[in-house]
Amino acid sequence: MAQSIIILGGDGFCGWPTSLGFSQAGYDVTIVDNLSRRKIDVDLEASSLTPIQPISKRIRAWKELTGKQIEFVNLDVSKQYNKLLSVIKNAAPKAIVHFAEQRAAPYSMKSPFHKRYTVDNNINATHNVLCAIVESGLDIHLAHLGTMGVYGYGTAGMAIPEGYLNVKVEKRPGESVDLEILYPANPGSIYHMTKTLDALLFYYYNKNDGVRITDLHQGIVWGTNTPETLQHEALVNRFDYDGDYGTVLNRFLMQAAVGHPITVHGVGGQTRAFIHIRDTVNCIKLAVTNPPKQGERVQIFNQATETHTVRDLAKLVSKLTGAQVRYYRNPRKEDPENALQVKNDKLLAMGLNPIRLSEGLLTEVLEIAKKYGDRCDTSRIVSTSTWNKSIEPDFSGSPDPV
Ligand SMILES: NC(=O)c1ccc[n+]([C@@H]2O[C@H](COP(=O)([O-])OP(=O)(O)OC[C@H]3O[C@@H](n4cnc5c(N)ncnc54)[C@H](O)[C@@H]3O)[C@@H](O)[C@H]2O)c1
């Protein structure tokens, strides 16, 4: 019999290709999503560069192509607890993949409303899922998407470990004790803060109720399509390019494709971890097929395949396309330069064969951006959300680092 899986947030950028990936692999997939991301697009007067289809049309196209049925339930995970519980009981899934959070740092910093929405939505969604798993009485593995940003991107010079850190603490002079602690959180935005709070909820529900949990600390996702979304135009994945939701490498490629300067913040010395969308799907499949054992602590994997500085990515895209690089005052409160090394041994040991940045894959994204370039509203490209009142947005940038 096919195994059942629930994908919370399965209409989103990572959730849609993941839902198709599991359906293709033979799982009975139920997508739970309140379509809030589509509503936020309306509020922001922005939209996906790619013409994403309504969820019912997406699911119908998949059924027509493959004969595989994906169920869809429209509910707010952060508010509709009883409905969530009955979906979980009915589907009795092997695993729940949890993408259903407000995921943009700039959006979370826009105003008190956006800060409060992000905290209310993300923390209540995560808590409701955990509480419902316990109340269902079912043994369900929860795989959650966290972010590499929970650690603030700085280290004491070593590679960021996968969740836990061994420390030596002085008990009394001359006597020390070895401890293992959660790697210290250091969130850089309200959004990142919600992910660090999620980690404590996982720690507690695992300790108290034995819920089996994998927290995937994901890098910045780039790319758009996967083998499944490429099968039909109606399955096309979301491509965010606006100043709130667009992620750095996809933004640079899209900017080059539509003739907009590449928007580097500050000097571009920020080093970040990256992963291609196809590897997002691959990693989640690996996490779901390798759950922690009963009684095991929360598994934490770094779901990232490489690190780059923003400046280097800008130069790479500029070299590939001839696009001009422009430097904008950094709207964020962050170090202008940082080094970052990330351990990803656990997913590699499970068989991940990383897809790395290559000219071929960059060109694939460029082609998509060119194909749908006429859908771009260039007034939405520059990031206007700033981290505090002392930072003024910069709409024009400069040819030299600022
Ligand atoms: N995209 C990235 O680069 C990236 C990087 C690291 C981590 N992540 C994490 O992966 C997850 C998915 O990211 P994404 O890029 O697919 O985001 P997304 O906004 O495209 O998708 C999230 C989906 O969840 C839904 N959702 C949000 N709140 C909900 C709620 N209360 N009830 C029901 N549905 C709800 C939205 O409608 C949307 O379809 C997020 O948790 C994010 O933090 C993403």
Edge-first strand listing for the sheet containing 271-276: 220-222, 271-276, 306-309
Which tens digit of pLDDT belongs to each residue from 297-356?
999 999 999 999 999 999 999 999 999 999 999 999 999 999 999 999 999 999 999 999
Give the distance (Å) from ligand 1 centre to CA of residue 99.
Answer: 5
pTM above 0.95, yes or no: yes
36 close to ligand 1 (CB < 6 Angstrom): yes
Select from 6, 7, 14 the residue to mutate for testing ligand 1; criterion: most ligand atoms less than 8 Å from CB: 14
Cα-to-centroid distance, 15 and ligand 1 (Å):
7
Q: What percent of the chain has pLDDT over 90?
A: 96
Inter-CA distances, 144 with 4, 14, 35, 132, 160, Å = 17, 12, 19, 15, 19
Active site includes 147?
yes
Above 80 in pLDDT, residue 154? no
Average pLDDT over residues 241-266: 97
Concerning whether 319 is annotated as a catalytic residue, the answer is: no
* The length of the chain, given as a count of residues: 402
Whether the Cβ atoms of residue 284 and residue 7 lie closer than 8 Å to each other: no
How far is residue 60's CA from residue 208's CA, in Å, rounded to a whole number?
Answer: 41
Ligand 1 atom closest to 40 (CA): 37
What is the model's pLDDT at position 1? 83
* Of 107, 103, 148, nearest in space to 11 by CA: 103
Which ligand 1 atom sits nearest the alpha carbon of residue 144? 41
Q: What is the pLDDT of residues 52-79, one digit of tens each?
A: 999 999 999 999 999 999 999 999 999 9
Ligand 1 in reach of 9 Cβ (< 6 A): yes
Environment class of 350 (CB within 10 Å of its CB; exposed 0-12, middle 13-18, buried 19+): middle
Residue 153 has pLDDT above 80, yes or no: no
